[in-house]
Structure 1
């Protein structure tokens, strides 16, 4: 049985802009003003990478910020998200909740691999009725700014949880962006891409398996690990 690692945004759920709203509020709290960062894409990036990119762009726009303020920015962002998320429109994507619950019921080895800071990852999935019972471990944006470093973190945590060595080649990363695919490839892991985020099936064709949604997910359809 492989270790299945789910991305969150665009894969399990949509949070409909609450992240950008909270980044904007955190930036205003940090710098006293904000700017238009709509050209910075968030898809597939870790929160810490997003913080760095927004601060660097803000500096170029004349804001009194620097990349070394990323940790403080993250603290402000987490505070804003914790305030905004309860009232945000958070929607489970097709098949996501049923699949994760069924896998958990079947004692599958399931966790998360996401760019979200760990507390916010759990706060988001709780909005769709999932939590540590179904997704008991993972690797998060709070672990490293580089998404490609997260599979090794997840493999180590899986090894500790299941009492056996879990190499990254035994991971299956399930996500919705080309960055999820690149992350899996860098780790020698399998990757399942779902076209429920910002990218269509054609843009995700480099994945081992491409699905229209998690409703079509099947363990039997996974190719054998290399």
Structure 2
């Protein structure tokens, strides 16, 4: 198992980020009202997703579920050969869909393998629907498998070329819609957006406050305690 494991208690929520002035309110008003319930379960960090001790992590997988480069390769490497062996029994996965396996040597109990689209600007609307579907299907699988804490890698923004800012907006809007529907928010203790590339970090820092604005009482309050912060570990 990888060193420098980060537990759920060490990952700050949006509420804590706002209170610690680590996340600033959006300069543009969004369409959603502030929600303490959502801000208390959502998180964003820049860290190595293979070191998160959560119920499940979401892998940016390819259609063959065979492992590859980037986060996909890192997850397979950290999990060990048993992960690839189980993936080979799943008969691949369609773009926009997701499948679940055990986590093996990872600190996460399960891995959800979501296959994002390869970006081409002329097919933007279709590819956005597929990207949204990746996150929706992953959350559905999490609920079906009683995973109460889930960390997402940034799907499709690496070698698949999806523009970071556009991806973050689609993802945050889709996750928000899912959580606001059918009391789905109550089915999770934490949903974490785990960024690796600086461009993804900047995109989420920019758009999280637009889609999930702070409660008025959380703006500029006391700093979060040191133990709630995870150092960059990738």
Under a length normalisation based on structure 2, what TM-score does the superposition of the two structures give?
Answer: 0.30
> Comparing both chains, which one has the higher relative contact order based on Cα–Cα distances under 8 Å and sequence gaps of 6 or more?
2
Under a length normalisation based on structure 1, what TM-score does the superposition of the two structures give?
Answer: 0.31
